[in-house]
Chain A
């Protein structure tokens, strides 16, 4: 029940988060970031996952050996001398991809991620404030669930439904 409350509180935030990730994934898509590691997934879905990973602090979106600067597979017998033959993207695009990457990490990981944690923390403490009351409410719901299964003899049971409750308290 606490969880539902917290999820309710962050749902719009999550929506915004998804929009942000989609935007950056689309940016990566435009500069044709390599998605071979994701196998048969369509490029935009793979990039969405990649951006989500980088938002969570897993930066393996970049190939550890080549970064965004992917080298072409060399054909046997052909010796490349110029960049266009050796690399997939031009120098400008590679620089630009790294620029997008830094912006993406800054916004998604550093700002957004901490925002979400803060919102969840706040929502949790708000719920926690009324934890006992929430608890009793849940119990009542459960008691009701039990009581609808009662027959007349249960309702007449003096132990289940006493006429008076006496509570002794130590001062």
Chain B
């Protein structure tokens, strides 16, 4: 049996966030092959980060399901013989939109908080651009969708882009699992 002692208080010092910041900014991959570093990361991950990102992933999954169900109704009642099918705006439509908007708002708030904490650092990470662009495109598309009677071409293109950005976001969130 072997016991390893890692004196975290001496490593992290007064400013406790500095340890992760230094590790995050490190370009040297060999550092992450050190056993002690791996243990520290595993500990932090299991104690608080994992659950947080799982919740985030779950919330986004709820959004995605609602969003995709909503998109399925985009072209109205296809069995009627007409070139343009007006969008059916009944109660389920409103419920779906409200759910989507609330979740998007939550993610926007999260981004704003992150921006306020990180300030300039925030714009160095290109994921954040994707995130903001995704939210923006979704909002634009859904505003067009809600205000117009029929789905316009612009609206469709915007929806396609927001679906693509949602894929990027899923890839980003799926990192929770190895």
- Residues of chain A whose beta carbon lies under 8 Å from any beta carbon of chain B: 1, 3, 130, 132-150, 155, 159-171
Distance between B126 CB and nearest chain A CB, rounded to angstroms: 9
| B99 contacts the other chain (CB 8 A) | no
Residues B178 and A135 in contact, CB atoms below 8 Å apart: yes
How many chain B residues touch A (Cβ–Cβ < 8 Å)? 43
Contact B29 A171 (CB under 8 A): no
Most chain B beta-carbon neighbours within 10 Å: one of A1, A3, A146: A146
Contact B118 A166 (CB under 8 A): no
Q: Which residues of B contact A147 (CB under 8 A)?
A: 16-17, 20
Pick the contact of B40 from A142, A163, A165 — CB < 8 Å?
A165
**Interchain Cβ contacts under 8 Å between A and B, 14 examples:** A132-B33, A137-B29, A138-B175, A140-B24, A140-B32, A142-B53, A143-B41, A147-B17, A161-B16, A163-B7, A164-B5, A164-B9, A165-B39, A166-B5
Q: 1/0 per residue B9-28: CB within 8 Å of A?
A: 10010001100110110100
CA gap between A149 and B56 in the complex, in Å: 14
Residues of A contacting B39 in the complex (Cβ-Cβ under 8 angstroms): 165, 167
- Chain A residue with Cβ nearest B35: A167
Q: How far is the CA of A54 from the CA of B30 in the complex (A)?
A: 43
The 8 Å CB contact of B1, one of A148, A165, A171, is A171
Known: A144-B24, A163-B9. A150 touches B49 (CB 8 A): no
Count, A-B residue pairs, CB within 8 A: 108
Q: Smallest CB-CB separation from A134: which chain B residue?
A: B29
Q: Are B24 and A165 within 8 A (Cβ)?
A: no
Which residues of B are at the interface with A, using a C-beta cutoff of 8 A?
1-9, 12, 16-17, 20-21, 23-24, 26, 29-33, 37-41, 43-45, 47-49, 52-53, 113-114, 117-118, 171, 175-176, 178
Say whether A160 contacts B7, CB under 8 Å: no
CB neighbours of A140 from chain B (8 A): 20, 23-24, 32, 41
With a cutoff of 8 Å between Cβ atoms, the chain B residues found around residue A132 in the complex are 32-33
Bound-complex Cα distance A140 to B16 (A): 14
CB distance from B118 to the nearest CB of A (A): 6
Are the CB atoms of B2 and A155 closer together than 8 Å? Answer: no
In whole Å, how far is A161's beta carbon from the nearest beta carbon of chain B? 5
Most buried by B among A149, A164, A167: A167
**A133 contacts B3, C-beta separation under 8 Å:** no
Known: A147-B20, A149-B113. A164 touches B6 (CB 8 A): yes
Q: Which residues of B contact A159 (CB under 8 A)?
A: 47
| B residues near A168, Cβ cutoff 8 Å | 1-3
What are the residues of chain B within 8 A of A148 when measuring CB–CB? 17, 114, 117-118
